[in-house]
Chain A
């Protein structure tokens, strides 16, 4: 994976010094909270219900064992012994003191990590396919392109006060495991006539006005794609709405102008920017890409041991085919039944780091579904890996099932939330685990947000839940039919909402409609798309 050179290290060290100075001026009263807010937000520091929350960047979700151990140390030194992995492929700490924050950032910088631009109205941490570099179906590893964009977007002087936050995702296969078209810019690296290029999708997003990004250019040559991104951003910075923060994301601009007119303006700006020579040279992309090339030794291909049904189930649900013979990628579920989705203790982080070193290459990934991937596992060692995970309570065999729930922190932590998300997720996973229906339901992606900002991706769930406040009481709306994958779609609300107990029943009712109506091989989503909303409404409200 990518290693900092002295330039990269100097940039993060400088940012630590700058933040230390800003925090000092705030504590001395030289900066008002209003003035300090955008500065701390540019560094991932939010003031939440109980304390400061710090979001640490994990570029494209990739980290190594040493970094994972550093995150564990930070959890113990500055937090309460755990961290929360998020849908942005990041980690958040919920109990941070402002006085200690610069020291925490200095600890991160020692292991080539930072919290730069993990919040604020700027270009955020760039996400990618969590199986990048390992997936059998990719045309290339998308991460070098994401890393090049990371450099370009870090401290970009023109785009530090955008109308609103800006999220970019990069993938390189037709399977979309990064919700690419639900980003402000979604880039798919594609192959055409033997050459690679970037397909740009602009203006997607979730939040209170969900939109699927249209493709505005299906092939930007890779020696121009940073310049193209700059053109997309400049048009947005100049013309994105600033009169209403709820209409300020680029999706609204693209929608109001129309994709065609937005594209025309981008192309005009692009033609101008091409004359300025702002694109890094091919040699820079090659320098970065070389660091992602994984030279894996030969490994024996193995017929997996199916005599142990628990292991066989875990293999069938929690692994992904690898591009190299004899290897496989394993997903560690952070969704134990009744647990808090995405939470991991310091001990669990250290164990995952140890196992990644023992059975893989030491690399780990954070998924946008709040789980951890250990890529490059030698197939012969998969059973040993699973055994160790099981012993530590990390062996839940439930990836992409109804128990693998995405949930935002909700009203338990977040100052924006209207309703709690975590207890609802806990009750649903307990309900389905107890009823034994999880297996019968197969792939069923359930996503919960505690407010309309949609951090829990409820629009993109096969089943989505949105927590709202109704006259001071938590109320939960049910959505059906969303998807964040290559068959992207937005869920629709079934009808009136439910209370906390009622929403758990409602999810089970919807699941039962599927079990009753499905044809062979259909997933929940397929059945919903075939039969439509009516049978579900009938069962829920009839």
Chain B
């Protein structure tokens, strides 16, 4: 399995260009965010983007988690795809930060991926996935 996607629209048929290239000129609708890029620079242009790839060159570099949340918090509704060194044990966290597509360098084992994404029925804190945290359920919010 290469691309794992949780959207029903058609995927973009071309990869994202760099943030610098995008900001300089482009009318591209796809961009690729590296760990050192400031995701907030894209905020004025979110309406015309349909794919934002966030690259994880190494799985231990967690800057992409913040980039993803910032983009979702700013109202981005297009595809947010984690690419690079994306491992099965990160999927649940990535999903919570707003990623809705994964295209890892090393293909995921589909059964392991399904298990990992289904594992956490409850969550302690709100993030970018709209799920209801435990504290809200404790104090009367509908699940």
Contacts and interface: CB of A to CB of B under 8 A. Distances in A.
A276 to B, nearest CB: 6
A157 B89 contact: no
Contact of B135 (A21, A151, A156, A234): A151
A532 interface: no
Contacts of B123: 155
A14 B135 CA distance: 18
A22 B119 CA distance: 13
Contact of B124 (A5, A11, A30, A242): A11
A280 interface: yes
Contacts of A156: 124-125
A276 B139 contact: no
A234 B90 CA distance: 18
Given A157-B127, A160-B93, A284 B119 contact: no
Contact of A151 (B60, B124, B137): B124
B127 A158 contact: yes
Contact of B66 (A18, A234, A277): A234
B59 interface: yes
B121 interface: yes
B81 to A, nearest CB: 17
Contacts of B110: none
Given A7-B122, A14-B120, A284 B89 contact: no
Contacts of B122: 7, 10-11, 14
Contact of A277 (B96, B126, B137): B126
A13 to B, nearest CB: 11
Contacts of B59: 35, 38, 161
Contacts of A17: 119
A38 to B, nearest CB: 6
B19 interface: no
Interface string A1-40: 0000101001100100110011001000010000100110
A434 interface: no
B97 interface: yes
Given A7-B122, A14-B119, A155-B123, A22 B89 contact: yes
A151 B138 CA distance: 13
Contacts of B109: 30
A292 interface: no
Contact of B60 (A121, A155, A234, A237): A121
Given A157-B97, A283-B139, A7 B134 contact: yes
A238 interface: yes
B139 to A, nearest CB: 5
B105 interface: no
A272 B43 CA distance: 14
Most buried by A among B61, B109, B124, B134: B124
Contacts of B96: 157
Given A5-B138, A22-B89, A238-B66, A14 B121 contact: yes
A156 to B, nearest CB: 6
Contact of A160 (B62, B135, B139): B62
B4 interface: no
Contacts of B17: none
Q: How large is the interface on B (under 10, 10 to 19, 20 to 34, 35 or more residues)?
A: 35 or more
B76 interface: no
A162 interface: yes
A283 B141 CA distance: 13
Contacts of A151: 124-125, 134-135
A25 B125 CA distance: 28
Contacts of B127: 157-158
A35 B62 contact: no
A154 interface: yes
A310 B67 CA distance: 62
Contacts of A7: 122, 134, 137-138
A158 B112 CA distance: 22
A237 B125 contact: no
Contacts of A242: 35, 61, 63
A164 to B, nearest CB: 11
B124 A21 contact: no
Interface string A213-256: 00000000000000000000010011000100000000000000
Nearest to A155: B124
A280 B66 contact: no
Interface in B23-37: 35
Most buried by B among A5, A161, A234, A283: A161
Contact of B62 (A14, A161, A283): A161
Nearest to B60: A161
Nearest to A36: B89
Interface in A128-186: 151-152, 154-162
A284 B93 contact: no
A294 B35 CA distance: 48
Interface string B73-116: 10000000000000101101110110000000000010010010
A257 interface: no
B91 to A, nearest CB: 11
Interface of B: 35, 59-63, 65-66, 69, 73, 87, 89-90, 92-94, 96-97, 109, 112, 115, 119-127, 133-135, 137-139
9 contacts: A7-B122, A21-B115, A30-B109, A157-B65, A158-B127, A237-B65, A280-B133, A280-B135, A284-B138
The 9 closest A-B pairs by CB, nearest first: A161-B62, A157-B96, A157-B93, A280-B135, A284-B135, A7-B134, A158-B65, A151-B124, A278-B126
Given A35-B59, A234-B66, 13 more contacts: A10-B121, A11-B122, A14-B121, A30-B112, A155-B93, A155-B120, A157-B92, A158-B93, A160-B93, A161-B59, A161-B61, A276-B126, A287-B138
